[in-house]
Amino acid sequence: MVKEVLFFNEMAYSAYSQEFAAQLGYTSLMLPNEQFDAATASRLYGMYLDEFQYASEEGFDGVVINEHHNNPLNMMPGINLIGAILARNTKKGRIVLLGNILPIHENPLRVAEEVAMMDTISGGRVVCGFVRGVGTESVAVNINPTHNRERYYEAHDLIVKAWTTPGPFRWEGKHFQYRVVNPWVLPIQKPHPPIWVPGITSPETIIWAAQHGYPYIAQNTSMEVTPDIWALYQKTAVESGYKATKDNFGYLQRICVADSDERAYEEGRNFYWQLGRTFGRAPREWTSPPGYASQAAAISPAGATEARLASISYEEAEAMDQIITGSPETVIRKLKKVVDVADPAELILWAREGPMSREAGMRSIELLAKEVIPAIKEYVPQMNC
C-alpha cells in the first residue's frame, strides 16, 4: 500500500512567447533571457509557494521540489533557497529535494551546509535527493559531460562524510580537494537526512541507488518499463546483502483533477505547454552531449521506450496514463492501475504545471487531498511487480 503521497510542482515560468520559441525550435539553454520578466516571476513565485504550503496543510504528506538551470520549465535554479523558505513556512510534512545537481557544483560542501541548515530549520523534515542533472546543465557551466557521473559519486561521498564524520578532516579527491572539512551546522536527522535517488532508466543510477540502499524514485516511467527497474534494483540489493522492500520504491505521476472529466482533460493540456511537450524541446546534442550517457543506457530497450514517450502528444500520453486526468472518481480508478504495477511506498503527484490558473491549481490540490489521497492510501494493490 502507498504510505505517503507528496505534492510536486516544477515552478515553471510559462509567460515567455511560444511563437518566439517555435521560431527558434527550442525552449532551454539558449532561449534568450530577454523573455524573462521579473514582475511576472515574482507573482508566479508567490502563487507556487502558496500552493506548496496549502498542499502541506490540506492532506499531502509533504512537498517535492527540484532544480534546473537555463530553462523556463523550472524557476528553481537554487533548490535549497526554495527548500529553506518551505522549511520555515510549512509546519508539517516532508520537504523533499529531488534534487541537488551534484556534478555541476564546484563546492559540494556548500550543498552539505545548506541542506543541514534546512534540516535544522525544519525540525528534521528534509529528504535529500541527489541528481546528475540533464546534459544542458553540464554544457551551461562548462563541466566535461564525461566527468558527470564520477563527479556525482565523489560529491555524494564527500557530503555524506561531512555529515557523519567529526571534523576537521582533509579531503583529497579527483575532482574536489579540501584542506579543512569541518561544517559547523549539521543535520538534525542522524546519521543524516534520508537520501532518495530519482531517475528514469539509466541502469547505472538504479544499481548505484540499490547498492547504497537509497529509495529509487521512478519519474513517470511507463508501466511497461517500471517492473524492470524494480527487478534490477531488487537483484542488486540481493547482491549487496539485503532484501529490497517496497520502502525502496517511489513513483512520480503527472496528474490533474477537476470537478469534471472534461474540465480536467482540458487543464491537463497545460503539461504540454512547451511547444507541445512536457519538458520542452532542445537538440539532442544539448540534452545528451557526447559522454554524458553510458553506452548501456543509450542502447537499453527501456531507454528506447522512454525516449519514444518523450515525444508523444498530449492525447497519446493521456490515453496511456502517462498523465492522469479526470474527476476524483475517475482519477482514483486510473491511479489504482498505476499502483497495481508500481506499488510504491512514496507516491509523488506532479499536480500542476505551466499556464494553469491559480484557481485550477488550488482546486486540483484540494480534490486530491480530500478525495483521492484517502482512497489511494486505503487501496491494496491487486498485482505487485
Report the alpha-carbon distance of residue 213 to residue 193 in Å, rounded: 14
In the chain, the percentage of residues whose pLDDT exceeds 90 is: 91
Instruction: Give the pLDDT confidence of 77-128 residue by residue, as tens digits.
Output: 999 999 999 999 999 999 999 999 999 999 999 999 999 999 999 999 999 9
What integer is the mean pLDDT of 357-382?
97
Helices and strands counted in the chain (H then E): 16, 11
Instruction: Give the pLDDT confidence of 336-359 residue by residue, as tens digits.
Output: 999 999 999 999 999 999 899 999
DSSP state of 195: E
Instruction: Give the pLDDT confidence of 298-333 residue by residue, as tens digits.
Output: 667 667 777 778 789 999 999 999 999 999 999 999
Do residues 380 and 1 touch, judged by C-beta distance below 8 A? yes
pTM: 0.96
Instruction: Give the pLDDT confidence of 2-22 residue by residue, as tens digits.
Output: 999 999 999 999 999 999 999
Helix, strand, coil proportions of the chain in percent (round to 5)?
50, 15, 35
DSSP state of 275: T
* Architecture of the CATH domain 4-378: Alpha-Beta Barrel (3.20)
